[in-house]
Amino acid sequence: MTADIALAKPAAAAVSAAIDELAAIFGNRLVTSQAVRQQHGNTVTWIVNQPPDAVVYPQSTEEVQQIVRICARHAMPIIAFGTGSSLEGHVNAPLGGVSIDFRDMNKLVKVHAEDLDCVVQPGITRKALNEQLRDSGLFFPIDPGADASLGGMAATRASGTNAVRYGTMKDNVLSLKVVLANGEVIDTARRAKKTSAGYDLTRLMVGSEGTLGIITELTLRLSGIPEAISGGRCPFPTVEAACNAAIMTIQAGIPVARIELLDALQVRALNLASKTELPETTLLLMEFHGTAASVAEQSERFGEIAEELGGGPFVWTTRPEERTKLWEARHNAAMSNFTLRPGAAMIATDVCVPISRLAECVTATQADIAETGILAPIVGHVGDGNFHLTLLIDMNDPGEVERAKALSKRLVERALAMDGTSTGEHGIGQGKMKYMVAEHGAAVVAVMASIKRALDPQNILNPGKIIALS
Amino acid sequence: MTADIALAKPAAAAVSAAIDELAAIFGNRLVTSQAVRQQHGNTVTWIVNQPPDAVVYPQSTEEVQQIVRICARHAMPIIAFGTGSSLEGHVNAPLGGVSIDFRDMNKLVKVHAEDLDCVVQPGITRKALNEQLRDSGLFFPIDPGADASLGGMAATRASGTNAVRYGTMKDNVLSLKVVLANGEVIDTARRAKKTSAGYDLTRLMVGSEGTLGIITELTLRLSGIPEAISGGRCPFPTVEAACNAAIMTIQAGIPVARIELLDALQVRALNLASKTELPETTLLLMEFHGTAASVAEQSERFGEIAEELGGGPFVWTTRPEERTKLWEARHNAAMSNFTLRPGAAMIATDVCVPISRLAECVTATQADIAETGILAPIVGHVGDGNFHLTLLIDMNDPGEVERAKALSKRLVERALAMDGTSTGEHGIGQGKMKYMVAEHGAAVVAVMASIKRALDPQNILNPGKIIALS
């Protein structure tokens, strides 16, 4: 097995033939203006924008099928597009092709309240979904920073602050409707909560970043909105003490819902941007879900653990408005960083290590940041061993850009050396392809490439992502 | 894409050449006696025993690699063997070949207590693992009925009574070391708790029943042994009331650890076999994990739900000896059934449906059982919508065998008609291949076949399982 996959731009004649065929069907839902094409190239990362040749807005699975069949006939690349909030160049079109924008496929199709599941179209965003679910007493727990689309979240195997309790997208997708590279439509599983009937195509599609199929519908697992929620913040003298508190909390079986680390620099950014008055030191933000009695018990026990480790006081509350303020500040963490350096470009990256190595990894990274002289606040989903750097960069200073790139590379190498991964939740896209062999070994990358070739022999589904190219 | 895969028995000369090469390396750890070969054919189901040509007992990943390389050179089938407790003919050797028995690879290699994970060899059984973990305060929660090997549990995507809270094998395997069909060794993931770095090969291997690779090491996610456990039993007037109690419990966010349905016939078998005095009606056995205060709260709230639905009283306790007695009786359910019809053969089957359809599915199945005149107690993991039939059959009565087969077929059809799956946790093996297209559609089966061909072009890894053959 090899990792070689042909990567060729379609000929200009094929491109215009495909676009003509699509235009005949989709009319003004097929757009080729430069502004719209640019919007659908990568916009959030520092990776250069590579716009598609056209953008199309389907309204049904059948229309997606039509698009894929036309593109397949002309060997045109196809890139699924949700909200464009992915961070590693996932929606870029290095070979041109057609971007399928799911703007118009954004419905909550059905709620099965007794089964704790729902069926959605890929373009619905997580906030819109939870808004529409509210009356059912249910919610969808996965919350990446951005208000991403559910299709994109599945495609990148997203997670967020709730993952320590509710898992990631891989744990909360029951089934996917997928259009394959040949235009066939499959459902990856039945709606039953578990199955042993053959290969797990659901989990194979989750995290495949649009390279194995186009998701046109998702059946999602939901959770009951907790009866009571407590939340609060707890300062710690060191990153190590905070990480140890996280470890002891989980080992003690306290079913913590959120356990978020902020370093002192990140707290300062939050205070500046959100007018909060958080202590500017290493901080854990906590949340507990359950009954009134159980969240009180969990909160008290966490407070004891924190104190034992020299942290505290743990200031917590069950009052919604105070909790909301705290977590809104946290969710604005990325954007708040601009207050630290107005006008800077923001480069977000993440790694994930076994939690026993987290303190060491964060501390070494802080030292590296200090030495490199880059402004880079840290937030971490410490229950998972996952943390993020936001590098604030002057893109007009080539030296600084180089230093930032080198810092990011050392971060990944540090994580890999600790049995960690190059990305806990952002994905590979274009940005982290260069680390795939170092992380997995050539044999694993070859297996992935052989699966890619089996499902997409023409390499038309989001080419130039995940798998190293010849 | 097609589902065609060549299925051919190797020539006699190839078989003896491969066995000679293996014997030269493994000496008396290569066995060809008829008794041992027969033991490694299928023994637990009614599917006919198809013994391998030889059985080999490796002691390391490197030895498994040697076996696979020799077999690959001679196109010899390779069947991974744990304890032989799978139920659908998974370890049968329809084309002969070499059975790799992991008897000697049964070590707990390493416990990472802070990370709540451990590394094991595939031959360790779930009871042996938990025995060795006890001092760490951690446990591995997945508990299929048999004392299965962890390698086999991963290969069949097993689950059991704890799945409603702790998930199935897909949720509790962090990484696998796998020998591929070409003899290469891969690790499917790093030890980090989550990752978005490429295709999810871990979940692809889990449930692939030895058809995509041979598992030689597993990194497992562990859970803290709960501080307190409460357990008990609750009678219900109908299956529907019991299922509704399960639904309301889960909707209320009560983090129930076990919620097991027994029908009246199954309770009678338990009472006969285990000298228990359980009320011989529809029964739920419950277990709650947490702190002393929280398990009491959970138990009380469940009791209220049961009462609201006409069930109860819910008799519960936190005393270990009483709980153990109750759950030992439950775990002996399958074996207890022989007391209902001594000398009968036992055919176990399972399906899984959305929980909202469970009562309807179980009730219709009970009516079907009564009409067919077969003795078939029912147990269900009702939190998952999963239930089992144990058909007690006189295999010497061809008419009865035919009626039992027809009953099993109708059970699967009923589950599929309710958006369920042909197997929630037993797997496909040989026994349920005939339902794959009905469950998934031809396009999905073709995708699975294309993945199989990509990873195992010679079709030497457990041929004749999962995928329909030409």
Q: Which residues of B touch A212 (CB under 8 A)?
A: 199
Sequence ranges of the domains in chain B? 12-103, 106-224, 228-322
Q: What is the mean pLDDT of chain B?
A: 95
Residue B231: strand pairing partners: B287, B317
Are A198 and B206 an interchain contact pair (Cβ–Cβ within 8 Å)? Answer: no
Residue A450 pLDDT more than 80? yes
Q: What is A340-438's CATH number?
A: 3.30.70.2740
Q: Which of A88, A175, A199, A305 to mutate to test the interface with B (most CBs of B within 10 A)?
A: A199
B139, β-bridge pairs: B223
pLDDT average, residue stretch B388-410 = 95
Q: What is the distance between the alpha carbons of residues A120 and A82, in angstroms, rounded to a whole number?
A: 13
CA angle B284, B285, B288 (to 5 degrees): 120
Are B243 and B358 in contact by the 8 Å Cβ rule? The answer is yes
The per-residue pLDDT for range B97-156, each reduced to its tens digit, is 999 999 999 999 999 999 999 999 999 999 999 999 999 999 999 999 899 999 999 999
Average pLDDT over residues A23-46: 92
Where would I find the H helices in A98-212? 126-133, 150-155, 163-166, 169-172, 201-205
Q: Where residue A470 falls among pLDDT bands split at 50, 70, 90?
A: very low
pLDDT in tens, A224-236: 999 999 999 999 9
Question: For strand A228-236 and strand A315-317, is the pairing parallel, antiparallel, or unpaired?
Answer: antiparallel
- Average pLDDT of the residues in A209-222: 98
Q: Which position has the higher pLDDT, A45 or B292?
A: B292
**pLDDT at residue A329, as a whole number:** 84
Q: Rounded to a whole number, what is the distance in Å from the CA of A397 to chain B's nearest CA?
A: 30
What distance in Å separates the CA atoms of residue A338 and residue A24, rounded to the nearest whole number?
Answer: 45
Which region among A211-220, A280-289, A337-346, A420-429 has the lowest average model confidence (pLDDT)?
A337-346
Q: Say if A108-224 and A340-438 have the same CATH topology.
A: no
pLDDT in tens, B182-228: 999 999 999 999 999 999 999 999 999 999 999 999 999 999 999 99
Average pLDDT over residues A282-299: 96
Task: Name the percent of chain A lying above pLDDT 90.
Answer: 89
pTM beyond 0.90, yes or no: yes
- Interface contact A353, partner B, CB < 8 A: yes
Cβ contact, residue pair B196, A354, below 8 Å:
no
Distance CA(A437)–CA(A444), nearest Å, equals 8
Hey, are the CB atoms on B293 and A289 less than 8 Å from each other? Answer: no
CA A303 – CA A311 distance, rounded (Å): 9
E-assigned strand segments in B305-401: 315-317, 345-352, 378-381, 386-393
Across the interface, do B439 and A293 touch by the CB < 8 Å criterion?
no
CATH fold of B106-224 reads 3.30.465
Look at residue B468 in the predicted model and tell me its pLDDT. 64
Alpha carbon A233 to chain centroid, angstroms: 25
Residue of A nearest to B425 (CA): A196
Which of these, A86, A27, A33, lies nearest to A58 by C-alpha position? A27
Nearest CA in chain B to A445: B198
pLDDT tens, residue by residue, B424-468: 999 999 999 999 999 999 999 999 999 999 999 999 999 999 986
The confidence band for B325, taking pLDDT boundaries of 50, 70 and 90, is confident
CA distance A206 to A168: 10
What's B48's DSSP letter? P
CA distance A360 to A348: 21
Nearest residue in B to A226, CA atom: B253
> Bridge partners of A81?
A101
Q: Name every chain B residue with its beta carbon within 8 A of the beta carbon of A246.
A: none
Say if CB A421 and CB B158 are below 8 A apart.
Answer: no
Q: Which amino acid is at A238?
A: T
**How does pLDDT run across A312-325, given as a tens digit for each residue?**
999 999 999 999 88
Q: How confident is the model at residue B74 (pLDDT cuts 50, 70, 90)?
A: very high
Chain A nearest CA to B83, separation (Å): 19
How far is it, in rounded angstroms, from Cα B40 to Cα B100? 9
Q: At A307, which amino acid appears?
A: E
Q: What topology does CATH give the domain A108-224?
A: 3.30.465
**What is the predicted pLDDT for the residue at B326?**
87
Q: What is the assigned CATH class of domain A12-103+446-455?
A: alpha beta
Which of B112, B156, B194 should one mutate to test binding to chain A, selecting the residue with the greatest count of A CBs within 10 A? B194
Write down the pLDDT at residue A468: 64
Q: Are B121 and B106 in contact (CB under 8 A)?
A: yes
3-state secondary structure (DSSP) of residue A262? strand
pLDDT at B380 over 80: yes
| Residue A422 scores a pLDDT above 50 | yes
CA triple B446-B449-B450, angle to 5 deg: 90
Beta strands at B173-179 and B117-120: parallel, antiparallel or unpaired: unpaired
Contact A84, A68 (CB under 8 A): no
Which one is the CATH code of B12-103: 3.60.20.10, 3.30.43.10, 2.60.40.10, 3.40.50.300?
A: 3.30.43.10
Put simply, the answer to whether B425 touches A180 (Cβ < 8 Å) is no
Confidence of residue A5 (pLDDT cuts 50, 70, 90): low
What separation in angstroms does the CA of A279 have from each of A113, A235, A269, A381, A433? 42, 7, 12, 19, 38
Q: What is the CATH number of domain A228-335?
A: 3.30.70.3450
Out of 3.40.50.720, 1.20.1600.10, 3.40.50.300, 3.30.70.3450, which CATH number does the structure's domain B228-322 have?
3.30.70.3450
Nearest chain A alpha carbon to B454? A450
Contact A192 B251 (CB under 8 A): no
pLDDT of residue A225: 93
What's the pLDDT tens digit per position in B117-127?
Answer: 999 999 999 99
- Report the percentage of chain B scoring pLDDT > 90: 89
pLDDT at A108: 98
Tell me, rounded to whole angstroms, the distance of Cα A114 from its chain centroid. Answer: 29
Shortest alpha-carbon distance between residue B422 and chain A (Å): 7
CA distance linking residue A15 with residue A128, whole number of Å: 35
Q: Could you say which residues from 200 to 259 on chain A have a Cβ atom under 8 Å away from some Cβ of chain B?
A: 200-201, 203-204, 206-208, 212, 223-227, 247, 250-253, 255
Pairing of strands A98-101, A54-56: parallel
DSSP B350: E
DSSP designation for A146: S
